[in-house]
Structure 1
Amino acid sequence: MGIGLGIVLLVIGLIFALDVVSIPGMEDYVASDTLGWILVAVGALAIVLALVMNKQRGETKHVVEERRDVR
């Protein structure tokens, strides 16, 4: 789950939550506004997690151990 997936989920969630698009027959199975807000929350969480993971990856230190024979 990267930043791109989070943005896509956020946009799709806002489309459903704000009733920009209504799919006929969808309200019989699931409330589109509730589904939209769930997708917004998941998208925001995905963005936050991606940023945290990228920050941790950048702080990793790599230690190189080199041994030489000085005889």
Structure 2
Amino acid sequence: MGYGLGIFLLVLGLILALAVQDAISGIDITLIGWILALAGVLVLVLTAVQANSRRTHRTVARTTHADGSQSVTERRTDQDPPPAV
């Protein structure tokens, strides 16, 4: 899933729902269009939620010791940093 699939489904659904005037026996093209548009919106929302949940905060600290050696400490958290005030 991705933004491209969501946009594709949304556009295709809106075209079928709003712009196509043809009729096929036993098939409601307008309803299929609205279902595809709804599925596109759902894919877009799920993709945005999934992308937002992957944000991590990373802190790297370098410490120089008296003998000249350095050590690096890395800390990662899954929460977003607090907003700047």
Question: TM-score under structure 1 normalisation?
Answer: 0.72
Which of 1 and 2 has higher RCO (CA within 8 Å, sep 6+)?
Answer: 1
Structure with bigger gyration radius: 2
C-alpha change, 1:29 and 1:60, in structure 2 (3 Å) is farther
**1:1-71 superposed matches below 5 A:** 1-18=1-18, 20-22=19-21, 27-59=24-56, 62=76
How many matched pairs?
60
C-alpha change, 1:39 and 1:60, in structure 2 (3 Å) is farther
Structure 1 portions without partners, runs of 5+: 64-71
Structure 2 portions without partners, runs of 5+: 59-75, 78-85
Report which of the two has the higher share of strand: 2
Question: What is the identity percentage for the equivalent residue pairs of Structure 1 and Structure 2?
Answer: 42
Report which of the two has the higher share of helix: 1
| One-letter code aligned to 1:15 | I
Question: TM-score under structure 2 normalisation?
Answer: 0.61
| One-letter code aligned to 1:21 | V
**Where in structure 1 do 4 or more consecutive aligned residues deviate above 3 Å?**
59-63
